Amino acid sequence: MVERKTIKIEIEGQEFELQRFVAESKEYYFETEKKVEAYYLCSILNSPTVDDLIKPMQSRGLFGPRDIHKKVWELSIPKFDPSNQDHIALSELGEECTKKVSKLLSKGIPQKSIGNLRKIIKTEFEKEIKEIDEIVKKLFS
């Protein structure tokens, strides 16, 4: 999740203020004014159930399935409903995980690749991922 706010960065001694988000060629974005909706969608997109559902549709590389690209949008993801307790629970779990990942990353995690970082995060968040996945299974059943 990316909050659109001014970000200050420095490159070779020159300071820049960035105020927009740019999605690259294989990135997609969804804009919402509601954080609860964004956290809900993040929880769904990061659930093992969604990963399992798109696996058969993914292109295959040397190390197995890759490039979720547009395949995830072929799933019938329920529109966020603030009166649905499962949707609220997913949103709260997504927010909790986001905060915990930020805290974990701020400590500095020694890793050799993005794959290793994913493994570390999956291990650290096993309980939360299980909770998210149980709810997502209900939504997709």
Position 78 scores a pLDDT of 95
Of 130, 72, 68, residue with least CA distance to 97: 130
β-pair partners for 15: 10
Q: What are the structural domain ranges in the chain?
A: 27-140
Position 62 scores a pLDDT of 78
Tokens 């570390």 correspond to: 120
Stretch (H or E) spanning 64: strand 64-66
Position 113 scores a pLDDT of 75
Q: What is the mean pLDDT of residues 68-92?
A: 90
pLDDT for 104 beyond 70: yes
- Check residues 27 and 77 and name the one with the higher pLDDT: 77
pLDDT for 76 beyond 70: yes
CB–CB of 8/15 below 8 Å?
A: yes
pLDDT-above-90 percentage for the chain:
39
Position 67 scores a pLDDT of 67
Predicted TM-score of the model (pTM): 0.79
Tens digits of residue pLDDT in 10-69? 888 888 887 777 777 767 778 888 999 999 999 999 999 998 888 877 777 777 766 666
Q: How far apart are CA 72 and CA 55, in angstroms?
A: 10
Helix, strand, coil percent values for the chain (each to nearest 5): 50, 10, 35
